[in-house]
Amino acid sequence: MSEVDLWYASRATGIVALVLLSATVFLGALVAGRARSSSPLFARAEVHRMVSLIALVFLAAHILTAVFDTYVHIGWWAVVVPFASSYKRLWVAIGTVGLDSLLAVAISSALRHRIPARAWRLVHWLAYLSWPAAVVHGLEMGSDTSFGWAQGVVAACTALVVGAVAWRSVEAVRARSARPLTIIGARPSLRLAARRQAGK
């Protein structure tokens, strides 16, 4: 591929990766929030997983084309180590943080049956860090963000994710408030209960 081809490929795969990552977070929020749907929960979880995998493929293509592009020098270390790039150090670092967070989520999901459920859930919360990092990285690094169509894509992704996360937060509060309050008192021992029974 020529330098121009790499540049166009990096732009295109970056935009597609952002859209797919937004869809992944959206679907994840709906699955975790137990959204009502005609399709069963396991089917929605499988769609969420497949979209996540496709997002990783496009993200990998975006990274490869960006690193191989000789117009700017980003370097392989900058892919996983924040602030390792001399080119637009801060914005590349934010993208690196988003990637590292997403990789942690992907690896923990692959090992889900081998790690405690609580640990998996804690790591999975990093998805909510990777998404805004990807948005900021794209807005500051993307050469298309000055165009109206690109701004529209980012706005739609933001509305989709923010709406889903807000809905999940409201549903979580409702679920907690709907739980019955139980009064737990000190339970008398069997011996004390027997003495009381004998004294009657």
Model pLDDT for residues 85-137, shown as the tens digit of each residue:
888 889 999 999 999 999 999 898 888 888 888 888 888 888 888 999 999 99
C-alpha distances in Å from residue 15, one per residue of 22, 26, 71, 165: 11, 17, 20, 21
Angle between helices 41-68 and 3-32 in degrees, nearest 10:
160
Q: Can you read off the two tokens belonging to residue 107?
A: 């690896």
Q: Say how far residue 167 (Cα) sits from the centre of its chain.
A: 16
- Specify the pLDDT at position 144: 84
Spell out the SS3 assignment of 111-141: CHHHCCHHHHHHHHCCHHHHHHHHHHHHHHH
- Specify the pLDDT at position 42: 76
- Specify the pLDDT at position 35: 62
- Specify the pLDDT at position 193: 59
- Specify the pLDDT at position 159: 95
> What is the pTM for the complete model shown?
0.78
- Specify the pLDDT at position 94: 93
Q: Can you read off the two tokens belonging to residue 18?
A: 């952002």
Write the DSSP symbol of residue 19.
Answer: H
- Specify the pLDDT at position 169: 83
pLDDT along the chain (200 residues), means of 10: 81 93 90 67 84 93 87 82 87 92 90 87 87 92 85 94 88 71 51 61
